[in-house]
Amino acid sequence: MRIRACLCHFFFLLLHGYFIIAMNKTIYSRFDKKAITDLPIVTFPGRVITIITPGEAEKAVDYLLQSDIMGVDTETKPAFHKGEQNKVALLQVSNRDTCFLFRLNITGITPAIKRLLEDKSIKKIGLSWHDDIRGLEAREKFTPGLFIDLQDIVGEIGIKDLSLQKIYANIFHQKISKRQRLTNWEATALSDKQKQYAAIDAWSCILIYDEIVRLKKTGEYNLVVVPEPENIQPVAKVDSDAKDAEASDNKEKPKKEGKAATEKKKTRTKATRKPSRAKTVKRSTSKAKSSKAETNKAETVNV
């Protein structure tokens, strides 16, 4: 009976462990970019509100400061000419269900927006946010509040990718479309696609942060370590370089031999040509002598 009970307990633990592993989320140290193409596209389910006046900015900031967390991002009109540089045109700030698009190219950084950026009571999550701060400070100096950059914490669960699209695809198996990134963010009116894109970039930062915190706390994930591309590439490169060097050496040898053969041919040609000229001179001389002899003979006969 004891043996049977022990076996039952053993199989129970085995099955329990199996189900725990099966329920765990699988994430990769590096996510395959090609795999993103076939993933379903993310859509923002909440409200998107565009802010174009200081009064609207005041109300929006008051609303956002009642949230428990915010996601942030910025957009800038792309520059396609050398030396051209544009200021940040859009600041998007989202809570869990509403995203506000502050059109800085119209309003600038108002006192309300500055108050939001300097707030230290609510976590604001961004990605590569250090660069965004520099862009915002180019418009107006401010003291950054409580911001958390996903690039600083994503490595805590073993993820080495730093782009928003790859991190989101890795954790949630959905694709963030980047088609609107290089559009005109200073247009008179933003398109619905631009608004959706901007909202997703800010809102998705909240989802990623929450999931990283959850996975760290529970440990409910399996990390698949993908080999570093740098560790594989140099070996192949050395081999290919060696092959290329060998091939180039083989190519150079025939060329050198070809040059030597050409020089020999030229020498032979010259040597061949010289005797022919000498023969021609001798022949012409002999002809001249014979003609003179015939002439003298003729003269003698005539005399």
Query: pLDDT category, 275, cuts 50, 70, 90?
Result: very low
- Give the mean model confidence (pLDDT) for residues 20-43: 89
DSSP 109-174: S-HHHHHHHT--SSEEEESSHHHHHHHHHTTS-----SEEEHHHHGGGGT----SHHHHHHHHH--
pLDDT tens per residue, range 166-221: 999 999 999 999 999 999 999 999 999 999 999 999 999 999 999 999 999 999 99
- Give the mean model confidence (pLDDT) for residues 111-139: 97
Query: pLDDT category, 21, cuts 50, 70, 90?
Result: very low
pLDDT tens per residue, range 238-259: 344 444 444 444 444 444 444 5
Q: Which tops the pLDDT comparison, 136 or 18?
A: 136
pLDDT at 289 exceeding the cut of 80: no
Query: pLDDT category, 80, cuts 50, 70, 90?
Result: confident
CA angle, corner 171, sides to 67 and 226, nearest 5? 145
Residue 84 is predicted with a pLDDT of 87
- Give the mean model confidence (pLDDT) for residues 65-73: 98
- Give the mean model confidence (pLDDT) for residues 98-103: 98
Highest-confidence segment of 12-21, 214-223, 228-237, 291-300:
214-223
pLDDT tens per residue, range 144-161: 999 999 999 999 999 999
Residue 228 is predicted with a pLDDT of 86
pLDDT at 237 exceeding the cut of 80: no
Specify the pTM.
0.70
The rounded percent of the chain whose pLDDT value lies above 90 is 65
CA angle, corner 122, sides to 116 and 127, nearest 5? 80
Check if the beta carbon of residue 106 is closer than 8 Å to that of residue 129: no
158, two tokens: 């073993």
Question: What per-residue string of b and e applies to 84-105 under the rule 16 or more CB within 10 Å gives b?
Answer: eeeebbbbbbbbeebbbbbbbb
Check if the beta carbon of residue 178 is closer than 8 Å to that of residue 41: no
Highest-confidence segment of 118-127, 265-274, 275-284, 286-295:
118-127
Picking from 95-109, 110-124, 200-214, 283-297, which range would have the lowest pLDDT averaged per residue? Answer: 283-297
Q: Which tops the pLDDT comparison, 1 or 301?
A: 1
How many angstroms separate the CA atoms of 196 and 39, rounded? Answer: 18
